[in-house]
Amino acid sequence: MNETKRFVDEEFAGRRYERDGRAGLVVDFGPGAEGSVDLVGDTAIVVVGDDQYEFEVPAGVTTRASMNNGVLTVEVEPENSDDTDGDSGSETEVRN
């Protein structure tokens, strides 16, 4: 089942989705936004400039997060995922 929930804040726009057994979060902070993301438990902590944002991350075994060109992407694989390619690129990977 594909499900998408969109949200808009004064500073950014984003969406949460569930697709192909995976859950995710995508947030666009705008062009030129430089930032970093850390995963702590079920929270993605994002720092953009002098501002800090926290987003709840769906439960799962493997969580990957990256921030490129002002866009935050968080992807969560369910506990029964068989993804074994091991390619995390420039992403932060946390296994619970």
pLDDT digits (tens, 9 = 90+) for 4-48: 677 677 778 888 888 888 888 899 998 888 899 998 888 889 999
* pLDDT > 90? residue 57: no
Residues in the chain: 96
Write down the pTM of the prediction: 0.69
What lies within 8 Å, CB to CB, of 56 at 6+ separation is: 42, 43
* Location of structure tokens 């979060």: 25
* Confidence band, pLDDT 50/70/90 cuts, at residue 52: very high
* Confidence band, pLDDT 50/70/90 cuts, at residue 90: very low
What lies within 8 Å, CB to CB, of 81 at 6+ separation is: 21, 22, 60, 61, 62
pLDDT tens for each residue of 12-21:
888 888 888 8
